[in-house]
């Protein structure tokens, strides 16, 4: 069964450093998403991406965040200068369509720890 994969599973970084989180969406999906979940809190939408551009972004997705689809398979989230409060689980998701009834498939997540 096709699945979304994410690497690394755990990333530890120093405050102020740049990190890149990687995702490989399901191959025939067209819409890609990033979410974060701070420990013990709810899942929060960050950004959606389609046709090589951002479709929607939340208030959380400020200038320190960027997304990219550098090739035909990877979808990345870059955090330019990490802060302590960026420590969270980051989930990538993909869906075949954008319609609001489309199921999103989530990857296993990358746990980011900022020291």
Partner 1 sequence: RKEVEQDPGPFNVPEGATVAFNCTYSNSASQSFFWYRQDCRKEPKLLMSVYSSGNEDGRFTAQLNRASQYISLLIRDSKLSDSATYLCVVNESGGSYIPTFGRGTSLIVHP
Which residue ranges make up the site for partner 1 (CB under 8 A)?
Answer: 41-45, 48, 55-56, 58, 89, 91, 98, 100-101, 103-109
What is the DSSP code (8-state) at residue 86? G
Distance from chain centroid for Cα 113: 15
Which of residues 14 and 67 has its CB atom nearest to partner 1 in the complex? Answer: 67
Rounded to a whole number of angstroms, the minimum distance from the CB of residue 41 to partner 1 is: 7
What is the separation of C-alpha 68 from the centre of its chain, rounded to a whole number of angstroms? 10
**Shortest distance (Å) from residue 6 CB to partner 1:** 9
Minimum distance, C-beta of residue 114 to partner 1, in the bound complex (Å): 18
Q: Give the C-alpha separation, 7 to 17, whole Å.
A: 18
- How many helices (H) does the chain have, and how many strands (E)? 0, 11
* Cβ nearer to partner 1, comparing 74 with 102: 102
């Amino acid at each position: 069964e096709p699945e979304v994969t994410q690497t690394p599973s755990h990333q530890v970084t120093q405050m102020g450093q740049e990190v890149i989180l990687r995702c490989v969406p399901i191959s025939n999906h067209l819409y890609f998403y990033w979410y974060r979940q701070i420990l013990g809190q709810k899942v929060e939408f960050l950004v959606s991406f389609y046709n090589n551009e951002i479709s929607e972004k939340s208030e959380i997705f400020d200038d320190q965040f960027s997304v990219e689809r550098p090739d035909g398979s990877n979808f990345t989230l870059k955090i330019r200068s990490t802060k302590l409060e960026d420590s969270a689980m980051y989930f990538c998701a993909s869906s075949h369509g954008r319609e609001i009834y489309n199921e999103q498939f989530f990857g296993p997540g990358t746990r980011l720890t900022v020291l």
